[in-house]
Amino acid sequence: MSVPNETSVAMVGLGSMGLGMAGTLATKGFSVTGFDLSPARLEAAAALGVRPAADLAEALPAARFIVFSLPTARDVAGVVEAHLPLIGSRAGGRVIVVDTSTSEPGVSRDLAARLDAAGHGFLDAPVSGGPAGAAAGKLAMMIGGAEGDLALARPVIEALAAHILHVGPSGAGNVAKLVNNLLVAAHMITTAEGLKLAAAAGVEPEAVLRVLNAASGKTFLSEVHFPTWIMSGRFDSGFSMGLMKKDVRLAEALARESGVELPLTAEAARLWEESAGALADTDDFTRMGAFKPAGR
């Protein structure tokens, strides 16, 4: 991959995913400026070769590319709306904003229209692969937005992702990610219940898990998450209960907006919300694989 002359990237949000992405870009020859509200995260980014910014007024104006990794769509929209005049003010030309957050399709479409009117591009580009994938540049990225903006952003995206999937126009990447995370949430519950059934019937869950992973019942959850983080007792995948519950709620909202009835989605959402009394939003979401709801 050849890195273009204009390699200035502003990374907004240096959490578990953003920090890894910023470090990956820095090691691949990009000039990366990072911003986060946490001084500790800025310090960690500096150790990876990322220049820490004191505020967004320092991070945004000279960046050719702006990559967001923030918790919610409203966080991203708030930054863009409050700082739109700063974007590209010293970079010149069309700046491409790449939002890797799991967001709301409608918010992404509005941001794309607003940025396009200002002469800039916007891609909704949520990612899968966890902190390890971010740090290794091996993410899967599902992208919504214009072909031309994707072409301009491709050097940055190729540095971050091993799998680049252009799903469609603005918002399409968000839809694909919400469907993906909805299935992850459901698979977590169904796999846990299947292994619970095995144990109740007198068969070791580990033995049945080996069968699942060699047969048609296999999922990424059974193959990776259960042996790595759940049955090992580690519970440290890097993705929180709060974020997964948020994504399930967004999927439910999308179903209502789209006029479709999804009864299993509703039941999965109920079970995830039911966990709130025992599992904190800050807990790793893999703890749901060992969670036992009251009366079950």
Catalytic residue among 28, 138, 177, 292: 177
Spatial CA neighbour of 288 closest among 220, 192, 196, 169 = 192
Name the token pair of 166: 């252009």
**Which of 190, 273, 290 lies closest to 237, judged by CA?**
290
Q: What is the DSSP letter of 276?
A: G
Q: Which of 106, 177, 112, 96 is nearest to 140 (CA)?
A: 177
CA-based Rg of the chain, rounded to a whole angstrom?
20
**CA separation (Å) from 249 to 173, 238, 255?**
17, 20, 10
Which pair of structure tokens corresponds to residue 130?
A: 């966890």
Of 279, 189, 193, nearest in space to 240 by CA: 279
177 in catalytic set: yes
At 115 the three-state DSSP class reads helix
Contact 78, 101 (CB under 8 A): no
Give CA–CA dist 214/207, Å, rounded.
11
The helix (run of H) or strand (run of E) holding residue 230 is none
Q: Give catalytic residues, as residue numbers.
A: 177
